[in-house]
Amino acid sequence: MKKGLKINCHPELAAKSIEAVPKCDFMPLPGVSESLKETEILNRNNSCGVAQSTFQNDNAKAAFTLAEVLITLGIIGIVAAMTLPALIQKHNKQVVETRLKKFYSTINQAIQLTEVDYGDKQYLYNEFRDICDTNGFAADSFECSEIIFNKYLKKYIKTTGIKKCRGEYLCMYFSDGSTVKISYYGRDYEYYINGKALTDPKSGINKFGFAFYPTGAAGLRGKHFINKGVEPYIYQAWDGTYEGLKSDGAYAKLIQLNGWRVPDDYPLKF
């Protein structure tokens, strides 16, 4: 209320002034200017209630109650819980697809360039074994993989380094966080999507097998390797069917056959 004013209510003047609506007059106190006019009338439903004064703050804004805020947050949480798993799964699939395709391209470009220097794939296949046997290195040893990497692959593959991993194996590390373990005379490759996969490998999720068998391989899988570079690994017992690839766990091959996209009927969930 304006300082220096007092309110006198005169219900008996209602009929004369505002058609039976009780009226409150603002009466100046002594010493207050007579120019101050009456600015408000009483609410029509209140005989002499609180005036709706123009002196009130017209800029007051409505606010949410605590209950409304909590309900809104609850709804947001429910929606997030429903959608986040699907978004995470989609992201993980995209990472797998992108990195598998990139590794496949990188390693085979290196093989092709090595062929120019040393001879065709079948020659390299035998040469990898001969160089290890000549130096007395076991097939799966770090030393065998190291001499193959340094002589034949190093200048054609950009890595952040090599070191022992998962026991006595050699691992190549890449800038995108992925890792490749080389074993068995430089012929077998295990591709790990990220650093976590090295300590918690899950085949078909963050770990995928590849092999360099250009002279062929036993069983029906042979046609997928002969005269080729590094290809997704297929187990010897494969029956030659697509369903057989799924049951045998030839996960990289399933993705390759689908254009390096995780197929809709992929047997695992990311």
pLDDT tens digits, 179-212: 999 999 999 999 999 989 999 999 999 999 999 9
Which position has the higher pLDDT, 27 or 109?
A: 109
Coil vs helix vs strand at 49: coil
Entry field: residues in the chain:
270
Half-sphere exposure of 147 (CA within 13 A, CB side): 19
pLDDT given for residue 30 in this prediction: 53
pLDDT tens digits, 21-63: 444 454 554 554 554 444 444 444 444 444 444 445 555 556 8
* DSSP category for residue 203: B
Which residues, at least 6 apart from 22, have a Cβ–Cβ distance to it below 8 Å?
9, 10, 11, 14, 42, 46, 47, 48
pLDDT given for residue 194 in this prediction: 94
- Do 41 and 51 contact (CB within 8 A), yes or no? yes
In the chain, DSSP finds a helix count (H) and a strand count (E) of 7, 8
pLDDT given for residue 77 in this prediction: 87
pLDDT given for residue 270 in this prediction: 87
pLDDT given for residue 55 in this prediction: 41
Which residues, at least 6 apart from 20, have a Cβ–Cβ distance to it below 8 Å?
14
- Do 206 and 196 contact (CB within 8 A), yes or no? yes
